[in-house]
Amino acid sequence: MVPFEAAPAQLSELRRAVRSQLGCWGALAVTEEAELVATELGANVIKHVGRDVAASLVLELREGRVRLEVHDRSRALPTPLAEACADSDECGRGLHLIAAMAHDWGSARTATGKVIWCELSLKPAEREGRIGRAAAALSAYRQPSGTPGLDPAALDETVTDVITDLLHWLAVQGGDPDGALGRAQMHYEAEAA
């Protein structure tokens, strides 16, 4: 368990803790996804529960999956993604990202507040599901009204917008957008080969 105070400066500490633990377990294949999940869940505590509130990150290795949990003292569960998209311009993008990357995720009330959890698969066959999850995230991210599908030019523009937004988000979190983009390109090329 990694206790933290919900503050932007703590998010980099969460990422370091995730990387360190996954290294100890030999589960480096999901490091980038796990760091992103931890950052998103920590940022959600800041945004929806409050700045500087006490929270904790729990990491577990179980049956070919890495489970990340963020516990806080609020009993308010996240709005379901469909409702968030209907009621907000932000459309629950952080939870959409988590849902797109995760094998499974959810939330529950606890005796002291709530937990939001996410499981990332270590199995290559399950990781190949990224393509399907990415398609689902893209359709949730921006789908023109009344358009059953995106033409190739619109699809290319949507993917570019998602990547651009993620790079802006990473920069605000204190990350290195150029490095992340380079690593993403290397992962893509390695997995496509």
Domains and CATH numbers, the chain: 2-127 (3.30.565.10), 142-193 (no CATH)
- For 97, the 3-state DSSP assignment is helix
Show the low-confidence residues of the chain (pLDDT under 50).
81-84, 86-87, 145-147
- pLDDT of res. 16: 94
CA distance 18 to 31: 7
61, burial (CB in 10 Å: exposed 0-12, middle 13-18, buried 19+): middle
Two tokens, residue 84:
């968030």
Residue labelled with tokens 């030019």: 153
Condensed to tens digits (0 to 9), the pLDDT of residues 20-68 reads 999 999 988 888 889 989 999 999 899 999 999 999 999 999 888 999 9
Report if pTM > 0.85: no
- pLDDT of res. 29: 84
Give φ, ψ of 131 to 5 degrees: -60, -45
- pLDDT of res. 46: 92
